[in-house]
């Protein structure tokens, strides 16, 4: 029988009533003659609660213990969903990541799936069971529980689809599919019917949390089709394909993503000499802080200003490190801003249509939106601006590039 993998996110299973609705959806697919493997997240808000509990004890808790804790959210929903299916008269069994044979490396909190031993999943499918698996978690060779980073159930679902050679990986969530921008920010956001995995990867990496970037990367690598669908509505959702087969409309811009999880650090008036960048960023790297965008500009006085962005959670540590570097380098000033947003326009059409960047900048200027940093890649232009500009910026760009059509 063909195997279908379905994943249900937190809001889709946020209550017993919703779990019952999800069970009906699963049963409908099962009745069509498919084998069903269902991956679930924790109930909405549950993982955040667990994170808060841990951080109330230690801001930087033991990675191992943190994962033991975070993995419990999904253990609740797998059992509740399996019980519901059984109560409705179906054979169902729940597995934690470890029970399902999902092996990861040993990087706690952001582990990568290495292999899946699918024999147990197969055995129960063959016996007629609906198999329910906890997303977001796995186990190391040594039996340690790991988690895959926030939003990681998407990646679990894709990896299980690969391991089971599934017909399709269906990601059910609280919106109708992937939109041209977050439908909660812009009323004009339009659902996209099909998108290439290259563009989806860029949108996810730039902050569209509808899919975890690693899930998209995994699906692209193993050529698995992902379909993003609404749990509570009908409709064909959004299909994410490896390549454009020529039937997809070639939009110049496919979507706009934003990321509010970054902060900006600036050091002013450092000597413009070789090695300065590494003197500033070396101590940041030693603190394990990831740097995203970097801009350096040199004034006529031979002094340079150096600005970069870091995850917002690392803002205070980054600022402290920069203040220390500032003393050593006799810099003029250190400035931190943790109320910024990065807005990114993504589209493969940029490769063949010049002028997207200049249009983006002029639209923002016309609306009095100041840009503090810019970075580009082949299919993406990102700008950093004050967080208060987020909605206006998204809406004016969405209009100017006619994404609602």
**What is the closest distance, in whole angstroms, from the C-beta atom of residue 106 to ligand ASP in the complex?**
19
151 near Mg ion, rule: CB under 5 A? yes
179 near ligand ADP, rule: CB under 6 A? yes
Residue closer to ligand ASP by CB (options 100, 403) is 100
**DSSP assignments along 234-284, one per residue:** -S--EEEESS--S-S---S--EEEEE-SEEEEEEEEEE--TTHHHHHHHHH
208 near ligand ADP, rule: CB under 6 A? yes
CB atoms within 10 A of CB 287: 12
**DSSP assignments along 183-209, one per residue:** TTT-TT--B-SEEEHHHHHHHHHTT-T
Ramachandran angles phi, psi of 320, nearest 5°: -60, -45
Contact with ligand ASP (CB under 6 A): which of 135, 177, 183, 255? 135
Residue closer to ligand ADP by CB (options 41, 205) is 41
Angle between helices 63-70 and 72-87 (to 10 degrees): 20
Q: What span, in angstroms and rounded, lies between the C-alpha atoms of 343 and 340?
A: 10
Tokens 């279908």 found at = 4
146 backbone φψ class: left, alpha, beta (φ>0; ψ -120 to 50): beta
Tokens 């797998």 found at = 78
Q: Write the interaction track for ligand ASP spanning residues 47-66; mark x where CB under 6 A is met and - where it is not.
A: x-------------------
**What is the closest distance, in whole angstroms, from the C-beta atom of residue 12 to Mg ion in the complex?**
10
304-331 burial: b if 16+ Cβ within 10 Å, else e: bbbbbbbebebbeebbebbeebbeebeb
**What is the closest distance, in whole angstroms, from the C-beta atom of residue 321 to ligand ASP in the complex?**
28
Q: Which does 42 bind (CB under 5 to 8 A by kind): ligand ADP, ligand ASP, Mg ion, none?
A: ligand ASP
The interface with ligand ADP within residues 119-158 (CB under 6 A) comprises: 151
**What is the closest distance, in whole angstroms, from the C-beta atom of residue 111 to ligand ASP in the complex?**
13
Q: Which does 166 bind (CB under 5 to 8 A by kind): Mg ion, ligand ADP, ligand ASP, none?
A: none
Q: Which does 174 bind (CB under 5 to 8 A by kind): ligand ADP, ligand ASP, Mg ion, none?
A: ligand ADP
The interface with ligand ADP within residues 240-259 (CB under 6 A) comprises: 255
Whole-number CA gyration radius for the chain = 23
Q: Write the interaction track for ligand ADP spanning residues 354-393; mark x where CB under 6 A is met and - where it is not.
A: ----------------------------------------
73 near ligand ASP, rule: CB under 6 A? yes
153 near ligand ASP, rule: CB under 6 A? yes
**Region of 103-111, 138-146, 150-158, 375-383 interacting with Mg ion (CB under 5 A):** 150-158
Pair 394, 184: CB distance under 8 Å: no
Q: What span, in angstroms and rounded, lies between the C-alpha atoms of 136 and 148?
A: 5
Contact with ligand ASP (CB under 6 A): which of 5, 10, 22, 226? 10
Pair 381, 374: CB distance under 8 Å: yes
Residue closer to ligand ADP by CB (options 41, 321) is 41
Pair 116, 161: CB distance under 8 Å: no
Which of 211, 81, 210 shows the shortest CA–CA distance to 133?
81
Q: How far is CA 362 from each of CA 257, 340, 398, rounded to the nearest angstrom?
A: 19, 20, 14
Contact with ligand ASP (CB under 6 A): which of 122, 150, 227, 320? 150
Pair 110, 51: CB distance under 8 Å: no
73 near ligand ADP, rule: CB under 6 A? no
**Region of 30-38, 88-96, 181-189, 326-334 interacting with ligand ADP (CB under 6 A):** 181-189
Which of 235, 238, 233 shows the shortest CA–CA distance to 180?
238
Contact with ligand ADP (CB under 6 A): which of 155, 170, 173, 206? 173
Q: Give the residues lining the site for Mg ion (CB under 5 A).
A: 9, 151
Which residues of this protein are in contact with ligand ASP, per CB under 6 A? 9-10, 41-42, 47, 73, 135-136, 150-154
């Amino acid at each position: 029988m063909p195997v279908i993998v379905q994943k249900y996110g937190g809001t889709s299973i946020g209550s017993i009533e919703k779990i019952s609705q999800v069970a009906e959806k699963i049963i409908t697919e099962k009745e069509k003659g498919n084998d069903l493997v269902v991956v679930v997240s924790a109930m909405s808000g549950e993982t955040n609660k667990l994170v808060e509990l841990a951080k109330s004890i230690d801001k930087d808790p033991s990675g191992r213990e943190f994962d033991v804790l975070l993995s419990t959210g999904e253990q609740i929903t797998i059992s509740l969903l399996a019980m519901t299916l059984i109560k409705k008269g179906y054979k169902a069994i729940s597995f934690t990541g470890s029970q399902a044979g999902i092996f990861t490396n040993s990087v706690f909190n952001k582990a990568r799936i290495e292999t899946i031993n699918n024999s147990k999943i197969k055995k129960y499918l063959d016996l007629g069971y609906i198999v329910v698996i906890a997303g977001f978690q796995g186990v190391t060779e040594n039996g340690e529980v790991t988690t895959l980073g926030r939003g990681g159930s998407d990646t679990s679902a894709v990896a299980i689809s690969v391991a089971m050679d599934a017909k399709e990986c269906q990601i059910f969530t609280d919106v109708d599919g992937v939109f041209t921008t977050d439908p909660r920010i812009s009323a004009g956001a339009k659902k996209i019917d099909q998108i290439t995995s290259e563009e989806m990867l860029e949108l996810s990496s730039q902050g569209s949390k509808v899919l975890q970037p690693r899930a998209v990367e995994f699906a692209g690598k193993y050529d698995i089709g992902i379909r993003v669908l609404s749990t509570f509505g009908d409709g064909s959702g959004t299909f994410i394909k490896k390549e454009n087969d020529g039937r997809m409309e070639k939009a110049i811009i496919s979507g706009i993503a934003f990321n509010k999880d970054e902060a900006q650090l600036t050091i002013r008036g450092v000597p413009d000499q070789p090695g300065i960048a590494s003197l500033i960023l070396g101590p940041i790297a030693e603190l394990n802080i990831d740097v995203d965008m970097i801009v350096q500009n040199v004034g006529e006085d031979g002094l340079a200003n150096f600005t970069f962005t870091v995850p917002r959670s690392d803002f205070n540590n980054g600022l402290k490190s920069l203040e220390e570097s500032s003393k050593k380098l006799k810099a003029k000033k250190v400035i931190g801003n943790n109320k910024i947003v990065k807005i990114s326009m993504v589209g493969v059409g940029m490769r063949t249509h010049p002028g997207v960047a200049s249009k983006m900048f002029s639209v923002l200027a016309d609306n009095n939106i100041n840009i503090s940093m810019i970075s580009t890649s082949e299919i993406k232009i990102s700008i950093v601006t004050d967080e208060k500009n987020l909605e206006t910026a998204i809406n004016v760009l969405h209009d100017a590039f006619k994404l609602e059509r």
